[in-house]
Amino acid sequence: MQFLLDNWYLVLTALVSGALLLWPVVRGGAGSGISTAEAVRLINREKGVLIDVREPAEFASGHAVGARNVPLSQIETSTALPSNKALPVLVLCATGARASRAVALLKKRGYENCQPVAGGLAAWREANLPTESAA
């Protein structure tokens, strides 16, 4: 017990570092989601549907080829989502933060096979996957 009292700063450092390591797991993490390679595989082989949850102006400035734009604010009421809820739904945003929230909302609507694309459109572009802009 005396050791803990004498070295309280070491104990505090250990607790803080442990908490920082666990934080992404508790929060759902920025690292959660599927890779862009896995997303492409699901689109090509399992008829996956790519949903971009950014706002229309962001979507118009550049988006993944074939993506449907369903802004996060409209995800609960949109009719642009696939009617077949068994299809893989891949959710994309700028960096992945909004996509994780959208996945939670989609799961409430019955889309159990939906996942965010890790890293969002930034990772999509970094992987040199095709993008397009609205003319």
Is the confidence at residue 95, as pLDDT, over 70? yes
Return left, alpha or beta for 133; rule: phi > 0 is left, psi -120 to 50 is alpha, else beta. Answer: beta
HSE-CB for 68 with a 13 A CA cutoff: 16
Q: What is the pLDDT of residue 98?
A: 93
Strand partners, 63: 132
Looking at the structure, do residues 107 and 41 belong to the same domain, yes or no? yes
Looking at the structure, do residues 89 and 24 belong to the same domain, yes or no? no
More confident position, 51 or 32: 51
Structural domains counted in the chain: 2
Looking at the structure, do residues 64 and 88 belong to the same domain, yes or no? yes
Looking at the structure, do residues 58 and 120 belong to the same domain, yes or no? yes
Q: Which two tokens stand for residue 76?
A: 């609960």
Contact 89, 129 (CB under 8 A): no
- C-alpha 52/C-alpha 69 separation (Å) is 5
What's the CATH code of the domain at 46? 3.40.250.10
pTM (two decimals): 0.74
Contact 53, 73 (CB under 8 A): no
Q: What is the pLDDT of residue 26?
A: 63
Strand partners, 132: 63
Is the confidence at residue 30, as pLDDT, over 60? no
Q: Which range of residues forms the domain containing residue 99?
A: 36-132
